[in-house]
Amino acid sequence: MAKIMMVSKYPPHKINEVIKNYTSSDKPAYPDYLKKVGAWAAQVTDDRHKTYAVYDCPDDKIIGGLAALSKRYSFYASVEGVTFKMELLMEADEAIKLMLKK
């Protein structure tokens, strides 16, 4: 099972628009196989709020999961100043094993 982390940033003065998009029933749906592990709000950095969300995605559906998340977060990013990035995560033990093979 892969983990995909989404990191979003937005200007504080856009909070009402961000919440409107987040609670909208018109936002693109996630596929059934993509499961949210959790979502967190973090500190304000560079005068922007920052949030994280992590999703479980089956290894054989990573491309579809990334596409679905991109579509959903592009909907959120329709608010001026909202940005996001995706990060594919790996368990630390697995990453160490891969690094040691080099």
For the stretch 11-66, pLDDT in tens is 999 999 999 999 999 999 999 999 999 999 987 777 899 999 999 999 999 999 99
For the stretch 77-99, pLDDT in tens is 999 999 999 999 988 887 788 78
Domains and CATH numbers, the chain: 2-100 (3.30.70.260)
Given a contact cutoff of 8 angstroms between Cβ atoms, the answer to whether 85 and 23 are in contact is no
Cα–Cα distance measured from residue 74 to residue 63, given in angstroms and rounded to the nearest whole number: 16
Cα–Cα distance measured from residue 11 to residue 34, given in angstroms and rounded to the nearest whole number: 28
